[in-house]
Amino acid sequence: MTEKTALTPKTHTPPPAKFSHGVRKGNILQVAGQVGFLPAEDGEPPTPAGPTLREQTLQTLANVKSVLEEGGAGWDDVMMIRVYLTDTAHFAEMNDIYNAYFEEQNLTAPPAARTTVYVGLPAGLLIEIDALAVLD
């Protein structure tokens, strides 16, 4: 698997531009910025899992995981997670959700590094996450 391959989970809507939800080349896998959209439904526009940080964070993490798995990877292979929030007041709650989520994942490798910064996102979106993985 030394060729660059696009990773497109069946749950995902087509990207709104010429980019891939994820790509893998050799042992490097990059997941594009994911947001809290529910699994795609034919003919429907992308729809957030809900208005709350909890709903969007969990759906975003599920979407990142789908791309990882499409490329034969999992959370244990992830080196870096970039979390984009829109409000510094969301940091503590996001961490609670993040910690509980990863405790349930039963990982065997140490957790990924992470950077969290506060940016603007399209209206209605509270969180965006991307990830870089290195496979064995």
Q: In a 3-state reduction of DSSP, which class is residue 52?
A: coil
d(C-alpha 36, C-alpha 83), whole Å = 12
Measured in degrees and rounded to the nearest 5, phi and psi for residue 46 equal -55, 135
Within 10 Å of residue 32's Cβ, how many Cβ atoms? Answer: 18
Q: Which stretch binds a second copy (CB under 8 A): 1-9, 36-44, 46-54, 55-63?
A: 1-9
Span 60-119, contacts to a second copy by CB under 8 A = 76-77, 79-82, 84, 87-88, 91, 95, 98-99, 102-103, 109-119
Binding site for a second copy (CB under 8 A): 2-6, 15-23, 25-28, 30-33, 76-77, 79-82, 84, 87-88, 91, 95, 98-99, 102-103, 109-123, 128, 130, 132, 134, 136
